Amino acid sequence: MQSFEIDKSDLQRIETALEGNDAELEQVLLEYHASEIAMLFGQLPQEAKERIINVLPTDIASEVIAEMHEEQDAGELLIGLDPEKRTEIIAELDYDDATDIISQLDEEDQQEILEDINAEDAASIRELLKYDEDTAGGIMNSDLIKVNIKLDKKHALDEIIRQSEEMEDFYTIYVVNDDNVMQGIVSVKSILKARADAKLKDLVNRDFVYVKADLDQEDVAGLISQYNLTNIPVVDDDMKLLGRITVDDIIDVMEEESTEDILKISGVSEDEELSGNWKEAVKSRLPWLVINLGTAYLAASIIRHFDSTVSKIPSIAAYMTIIAGMGGNAATQALAVTVRRISLNDLSDKQAYNAVLKEFLVGLLNGAANGLIVLGVALFYDADPMLGLVLFLAMTGNLVVAGLTGASIPLVLKRVGIDPAVASSIIITTFTDCAGFLLPLWFATQLLLHHK
């Protein structure tokens, strides 16, 4: 199956169907997957979305709402529906999806929804709402299959069949004691293959990976990736089973964390939604731009200090902007690789040292290669070997600075408890801009002016 991309003809087809009756609209909608309809929602007005959700069968409507991105305001869509339809949709949603959507609403709307739905469902959702959205508790689903360790094969299978009636997918059976304390895990395959008189306590795997409810979601993703798990149990401080996190939840987390890191590295706050208005964008970006303006003045002061050099060697002004720009690009590359390393696992002192050393060597070699190019350009256009040498040394030096700062600064920030994705780019830009102006001007002053 090929990936779906919003096409103008698809949008026009839905808009045309919206002009017809409900039966015709439903017939067109059922030709699309729920995730495709959710993508199309980004191009449709609120009234159209509400009508589509009301026309669709409840099971598909719930899938559409679950597939909507956070910035599409699924909560707002849900609260605008008829209470009966809304209740049916929430009953179809997994608890974690329902919690994510309801958490987008204000407290009054949350109460309205929770009072309308089944008491058991409401209790489960209220329990999940207690956890921070970026923690294991915030992304876990309390729908799971658990059996008591005292059971034998027959009674365990009976219990699995009973609990699985309301579940779509499950891979692992969680084994607990009378107090709901985790004892281990067991697969359905292991139970089925066991002897008829087998006891669950003899089949359980007590060496299992689990997470505490307050663990950051990014760390949960790291564990699932590290151990190649399809799901992982969530427990409290007393090892009581709270829920499970499945691999599809982690895919959403990885997408969210990647977007967050990209925005941070670019100097954009994670609080700015991708679909936010211009006021939110200005509020989010302006502080970082003001800080960047301050660092730009620092770089500009270097040029003022070497006014006489610039006036006597005007061509150096053009070259130093190239050197500074190249340094910024090289630093961004080193920064991206280092932040990625940090996000995957905490680096030991030796690993951190090796990461910095690697970026130093990469900067040295790339700097020398690019330095030879600018040297050749200077020989061709300016016919000045000494100017070429100045540019070679400056380019090499700035790319070394770029590699060192791009690797070391995020590592230092991580050690002192500051998010490296947030502050690194501003600091590194300052270093590469200052070095990009200082090195060519200083070498030009020493090699071209003082020796004339």
Q: What is the CATH number of the domain that holds 202?
A: 3.10.580.10
Measured CA to CA, the distance from residue 389 to residue 428 in angstroms comes to: 26
Does any domain span residue 30?
Answer: yes
Is 361 part of any domain?
yes
**Model pLDDT for residues 91-102, shown as the tens digit of each residue:** 899 888 899 899
Q: Is the domain of 334 the same as that of 242? A: no
Give the integer Cα–Cα distance in Å for 340 and 47. 42
Range of the domain at 197: 146-246
Q: What is the distance between the alpha carbons of residues 107 and 110, in angstroms, rounded to a whole number?
A: 5
Residue 136 forms part of a structural domain: no
Confidence of residue 269 (pLDDT cuts 50, 70, 90): low
158 and 93 both lie in a single domain:
no
pLDDT of residue 391: 94
Q: Compute CA distances 23 → 55, 85, 88, 153, 313, whole Å.
A: 8, 18, 20, 49, 77
Which pLDDT tens digit goes with each residue over 384-432? 899 999 999 999 999 999 999 999 988 888 888 777 766 677 788 888 8
Residue 176, both tokens: 């607990």
* Closest to 176 measured CA to CA, from 157, 201, 196: 201
Same domain, 169 and 109: no
pLDDT digits (tens, 9 = 90+) for 27-49: 999 999 998 999 889 889 999 99
pLDDT in the model for residue 264? 59
Helix axes 247-265, 420-444, angle to 10 degrees: 30
pLDDT surpassing 80 at residue 119? yes
Same domain assignment for residues 33 and 121: yes
Enter the DSSP assignment of 348: P
pLDDT value at residue 253: 74
What's the whole-number average pLDDT of the chain? 86
Cβ neighbours of 76 (radius 10 Å):
14
Q: Are strands 146-148 and 173-176 parallel, antiparallel or unpaired?
A: parallel
Q: 285-323: per-residue pLDDT in tens?
A: 777 778 778 878 888 888 888 988 888 888 888 898 899
Query: Tokens in use for 282?
Result: 């200005």
From CA 321, how far away is CA 396, in angstroms rounded? 14
* Token digits of residue 210: 């689990």
What average pLDDT score do residues 122-130 get?
A: 92
Question: How big is the chain by its Cα radius of gyration, in Å?
Answer: 29
Show which of 97, 130, 163 is a domain's final residue. Answer: 130
What's residue 183's pLDDT? 97
Secondary structure (3-state) at 134 = coil
**Residue 128: what pLDDT?**
92
What does the pLDDT look like over 192-249, one tens digit per residue? 999 999 999 999 999 999 999 999 888 898 888 888 888 999 999 999 999 999 888 8
User: Tokens 């107090």 identify what position?
Assistant: 179
Q: 10 Å Cβ neighbour count for 265?
A: 19
Query: If you average pLDDT over each of 67-71, 266-270, 404-408, which comes out highest?
Result: 404-408
Contacts of 272 (CB under 8 A, 6+ apart): 263, 280, 281, 283, 284, 285
* 322, burial (CB in 10 Å: exposed 0-12, middle 13-18, buried 19+): middle
316 versus 183: the higher-pLDDT residue is 183
Last-in-domain residue among 246, 269, 296: 246
Q: Look at residue 299 and tell me if it is in a domain.
A: yes
Q: What is the DSSP letter of 32?
A: S
Same domain? For 126 and 153 the reply is no
CA–CA distance, 175 with 182 (Å, rounded to integer): 6
CATH number at residue 83: 1.25.60.10
* Section 267-288 average pLDDT: 64
pLDDT exceeds 80 at position 284: no
Q: Is the pLDDT of residue 6 over 90?
A: no
The answer to whether position 259 is within a domain reads no
Co-location of 124 and 155 in the same domain: no
The count of domains in the chain is 3
Instruction: Give the model's pLDDT for residue 1.
Output: 44
Q: How far is CA 265 from CA 47, 406, 424, 427, in A?
A: 37, 12, 7, 11
Q: Where are the alpha helices (DSSP H) in 165-277?
A: 188-193, 200-203, 217-226, 247-265
Q: By three-state DSSP, how is residue 152 classified?
A: strand
- Note whether 119 and 225 are same-domain residues: no
Burial of 13 per CB tally in 10 Å (0-12, 13-18, 19+):
middle
Position with higher pLDDT, 294 vs 344: 294
Mark 138-149 as b/e (b = at least 16 C-beta within 10 Å): bbbbbbbbbbbb
198 and 159 within one domain: yes
Is 70 exceeded by the pLDDT of residue 274? Answer: no
Task: Name the pTM for this structure.
Answer: 0.62
Do 221 and 178 fall into the same domain?
yes
Summarize the confidence of residues 133-151 as an average pLDDT: 92
Per-residue pLDDT band at 134 (split at 50, 70, 90) = confident
Q: Is 138 among the domain residues?
A: no
CB 177 within 8 A of CB 161: no
Residue 331 lies in a domain: yes
In CATH, what number is assigned to the domain containing residue 336? 1.10.357.20
Kindly state the average pLDDT of the residues 169-183: 92
Note whether residue 304 is domain-resident: yes
Band (pLDDT 50/70/90 cuts) for residue 261 is low
Q: Do residues 380 and 404 both lie within one domain? A: yes
Domain end among 199, 224, 246: 246
Asked if 335 and 430 sit in the same domain, the reply is: yes
Question: Are residues 124 and 95 in contact, defined by beta-carbon separation less than 8 angstroms?
Answer: yes
8 A C-beta contact, residue 416 and residue 382:
no
**Do 392 and 294 reside in the same domain of the chain?**
yes
| Secondary structure of residue 184 in the 3-state scheme | strand
Q: Are 34 and 63 in contact (CB under 8 A)?
A: yes
